Structure 1
Amino acid sequence: MAACPCGRADARSRPLAYAACCARFIESFDSAPAPDAESLMRSRYAAFVLERADYLLATWHTSQRPPGIEFDPGVKWLGLEVRQHRVLDDSHAEVEFVARQKSPGSPAVRLHERSRFVREAGRWYYVDGDQL
């Protein structure tokens, strides 16, 4: 059983399998929305690792959604650390995270961001974020 790219662990600190974690949101977007902003952020990270542009675009709020997503060839995602999940009200939340990646021939880089999420019609969407 492959571990989920998002790095979520169970109560005993064992990595959750992809099938028991983000797969349900990515593979069944229409019927299984992420229950909170942190789960959406984690599943979006997994979608970047798996190069699932369809899921990334579907979970991007229409006010900020790009027309498409292209993945850089050879990028290796090295891990995700969720630093904070803050619920602002019933339909707004923020998630602070650090994601690490490495491109071929380049040193590893860290993306440290505070992302904003909004819930509409029972679904969470990524809006935008500030680099920290």
Structure 2
Amino acid sequence: MTTTVLNTTTAEMGEIKKHTPFARRSIYSCFTVDDAAILAKKAKDFLLTDGGRLPIPKKEMFSRAKVSQILGISVEAIKSYIEYNLLKPYLGYKHTPFFFPSDIEKFSIRYEPFQSLVKITGMSSRKLYATLVSMDIKIIPDRNLKKTH
């Protein structure tokens, strides 16, 4: 007989059980080998997804710093994009935002950061802004928008 010990707290085990067919059983009850295998897999998935807070394992998602590096923008710009619902973060431990790689890829195809356009065109930001406005190109978030909180 093989004994497997899950290194989880009672609270974590309670959360893990919610995602298994054993929701009504006591965490101290006996389980079959198959039940234990299911619980072990769910426990591993739970721990990899930052305590069940993330939809997929944390190592498969991008942190705010990684997104900043990929897009070539500041962390403050990312916060602004989140505020205007252009990016959707998934909050992990201590409310740390993580992003799906596919969301970042779609974002980079659809949007070009303003500072990146400044570098590409060689224009000053003021002149580029005026040019884009005159061409009816929408700038998100709008630089003239004042926070009304």
TM over 0.5: no
Structure 1 or 2: more helix by fraction: 2
TM-score normalised by structure 2 residue count: 0.21
TM-score, scaled relative to structure 1? 0.22
Where relative contact order (Cα < 8 A, 6+ residues apart) is larger, the structure is 1
- Which is greater in Rg? 2
- Point out the structure with the larger strand share: 1
